[in-house]
Amino acid sequence: MFKPSAIALLILLLAATAGQAWFPRLTEEMNITSRTAIIGHNLDYIVGPGETLMEIARRAGIGFDNLLRANPGINPWKPPVRQRLLLPKAVLAPDLIRPGITINLAELRLYLVWDEGGARKVRVYPVGIGREGWATPVGEYRVSVVIDNPDWTPPASLRLEKPELPGRVPPGPDNPLGSRWIGLTAEGVGIHGSNQPYGVGRRVSHGCIRLYPEDILDLAGRVKPGTPVRIVDQPVKQILLDGRLYLEVHRAVDMPARWDAPDRRWNPEVLDRVLEEARGIPVSIPPRR
């Protein structure tokens, strides 16, 4: 398990018991190199009175599903007071990550990568994506437009489902696009904020990619038309570094029926357990005994 320093952990625990927890967000800027195995660090958190996992995820700046998967067996609506939770802030980068935006549907995260001052940097944002029947499309795209305070015109297909919708929703608290719209070259698909932030980290949208209000402001200020956007669906991420295998497994809608390790050196019992649990956190796999 990856933990913060003792001082940082003490601050988190004291804040949690006071009901005013503060968390470093996933969107903290981090350097990555060819020697980087794990981006970020997991944190511990102690549940306070009356808290739910959805509220904790929102305040921590992580996705609800990510928090739920990382803490199996915990009642998301009534977690026990003083229950220790793992905040999943450590990640492996998706395969072939490169400058621009990479969205991994399986893990419900967006990666923004750029080069600066001779270093490669990354910011990681939790996202909400399309629900069943409205799947977010996989493919290679680009940013087509960035709009501040967008209007929302419900598409005809959605108005058939919900005829009570107006023809146009102006900017403001009732606009489901939030404060920014990042349009993509994928027809009808964009990255935007939300007036329902509890949908971030879940499969609830009509195909677009939702971010927390503060995250869309951060992302929109860092991209421009032409920025590459790659949308993938990679439930199993792995890296082999210095003779160690690191594995991160997510429970995707269509999990592969079988997954093969790079070779047969790794402990099969641990591999099977990590694949079955699919907790979405990086795990170092020991060698075969």
Examine the domain organization and report whether 168 and 214 are in the same domain: yes
Of 204, 232, 260, the position where a domain reaches its end is 232
Examine the domain organization and report whether 83 and 134 are in the same domain: no
Q: Which residue has the higher pLDDT, 244 or 107?
A: 107
**pLDDT tier at 158, thresholds 50, 70, 90:** low
Catalytic residue among 41, 192, 206, 250: 192
Split into its structural domains, the chain has a count of 3
- 149 belongs to a structural domain: yes
- 36 belongs to a structural domain: yes
pLDDT in tens, 128-138: 987 766 678 89
Of 232, 247, 271, the position where a domain reaches its end is 232
Concerning whether 250 is annotated as a catalytic residue, the answer is no
pLDDT at 3 over 60: no
Any idea what the CATH number is for the domain that residue 183 is in?
Answer: 2.40.440.10
Examine the domain organization and report whether 204 and 104 are in the same domain: yes
Q: Which domain holds residue 246?
A: 236-285
Any idea what the CATH number is for the domain that residue 20 is in?
Answer: 3.10.350.10
Report how far Cα 115 is from the mean position of its chain's Cα atoms. Answer: 21
pLDDT of residue 15: 37
Per-chain mean pLDDT for the chain: 81
Concerning whether 192 is annotated as a catalytic residue, the answer is yes
Catalytic residue among 41, 206, 208, 250: 208
Examine the domain organization and report whether 256 and 204 are in the same domain: no
Report how far Cα 58 is from the mean position of its chain's Cα atoms. Answer: 12
Report how far residue 238's alpha carbon sits from residue 246's, in angstroms, rounded to the nearest whole number. Answer: 5
**132: Cα within 13 Å, side-chain hemisphere:** 3
On whether the pTM is more than 0.75, the answer is: yes
Residue with tokens 């437009």: 145
Examine the domain organization and report whether 228 and 206 are in the same domain: yes
- 204 belongs to a structural domain: yes
Q: Which residue has the higher pLDDT, 234 or 30?
A: 234
Count of other CB atoms within 10 angstroms of residue 262: 10
Please, are residues 126 and 144 in contact by the beta-carbon 8 Å criterion?
A: no
